[in-house]
Structure 1
Amino acid sequence: MATHLILQKIFKTGFVSEPAPQADLALRTREQVLHAEILKIFGQSVAIRHVDAGSCNGCEMEIHALNGPHYNIEGRGVRFVASPRHADLLLVTGPVSRNMEVALKRAYDATPEPKWVVAMGDCGCTGGMFGENYATRGKVSNVIPIDVEVPGCPPTPLALLQGILAAVSKGRTTA
């Protein structure tokens, strides 16, 4: 009996949600240009090793978004690897905690040449609100040399992708 009343209410009320928005073709064009730029710079592929040096995981959420179907970076030849020995680029997030300092240096040393390092987020670029203190070494460049900084708290996936492109294109022109 209650089901019948619920169905009557649904039919009487009708649709109350707004229609889906139309696609913005300008964004699609930009996406195609960005993917063409990725292929031009990377050539075949680039392997990224992500190192969380003590972040709050805000940047990691944006990295996951970059790996999602909207950006489809893996389909364009950008992939994340489990070992720095297989990486072309280190992507470091967070202020470098004292407990991660040695691990970050080892990951950097294990990455074969030519290698690039991208510091992601305000914490990775400047130390963020944590700065340098008893628990952190601060920004990534206090521990290892970096090629590109991608500021933001957290930076957007597009800004991250542009930072990766900047690092690799810089390396390709000088190598």
Structure 2
Amino acid sequence: MWNSPGDEDFSLSTHFEKYQCKEHAPAVSTKVLRDLPYPVIQSCDLRGNPEKSCDASEFLEWLGAVTSKIECNNEASNFLSTFCCPEPSSVMEKAYLCTVTGFLLPEKICKLLEQLCHYFDEPKFAQWTSLTVHGFADSPVSWGSAEHGFHKGGENFYNFVVFKNQDYWLQMAVGSHDGCPP
């Protein structure tokens, strides 16, 4: 459905009825990751303290490797990557990776973020949870109403790391030829 303010009965399919259009539901996939090395992070330490926490950029790089299914064990037999988990690190017995692919309205993303914040309402061993949103590489708009320079880079994403104490990190990325986020 097309969400148009003040017009709740407007449907994208009725707008384009002379074309063959159909609505697609987002695809959801989940995976359980076992014995996952992960960097130790603390909400108050964005820049990282070598004894206590890795910094936010190292964490984001690690998260991208995990999401892309890149092994982070730095073994010589792993010819795709010699990336290793930033220090200090620990091992997570079990982690859940959920991927939603499709066009999601900002309201749905806000709802997902709210649900992640409520994850800690019950006592948990986990210290943080994360939500990453990628824009389409060929999207005509990056942030706000700025034209997206995808021919020159294509970066267009943001990531929330929500901590047990309800602090959070927000990391945003745009290409060098894009407008800056608000």
Provide TM-score, normalisation by structure 1: 0.22
Q: Which has the higher contact order (CA 8 A, sep 6+)?
A: 1
User: Larger radius of gyration, structure 1 or 2?
Assistant: 1
Q: Hey, which of these two has a bigger chunk of helix by percent?
A: 1
> More strand by proportion, 1 or 2?
2
